[in-house]
Structure 1
């Protein structure tokens, strides 16, 4: 069972094939993302009191500075990892799905 927000970040990092950024935020010198993914700027929020609109705008701004695709993951307490929601721009979604189609050819 997921107990803390750190556990949630760790699980999503593993799901996306990367590591959790233990120093996410202003203390990290290489990314402010919650993970060390090279292409995605993952902002992971755990709990019921997420404010997606302001978080999303902040995530977009920070991801742009790092030239990464912004994703906001909202995970409610007690929720399965696979059932959380991801906020993603439609243009980025279309890019990602076309990349996957090209990889399978």
Structure 2
């Protein structure tokens, strides 16, 4: 697990502290799908610093979506995270020629 500094806004795991006001650039709203609980907030992280399960990044967002409604469009950070996820999906769908470089050329005529 990536250890963070314990700050006024979040603890050393990245969990947002209760009652802390964060910029909408820093978090995404979530709500448990099968409950009427109040919405929560997840700190948005870079994948190599994310504590997947406490914070959220573009690599672990799909696993959060299993149990939670991830409200990407409520915050600027959520919208940006969604754009990164969509870009990753688009990049993964482009075939490559085996050397790790995407092949965006037109197929040769037969």
With the shorter chain as reference, the TM-score category is 0.3 to 0.5
- TM-score w.r.t. structure 2 length? 0.32
Higher helix residue share = 1
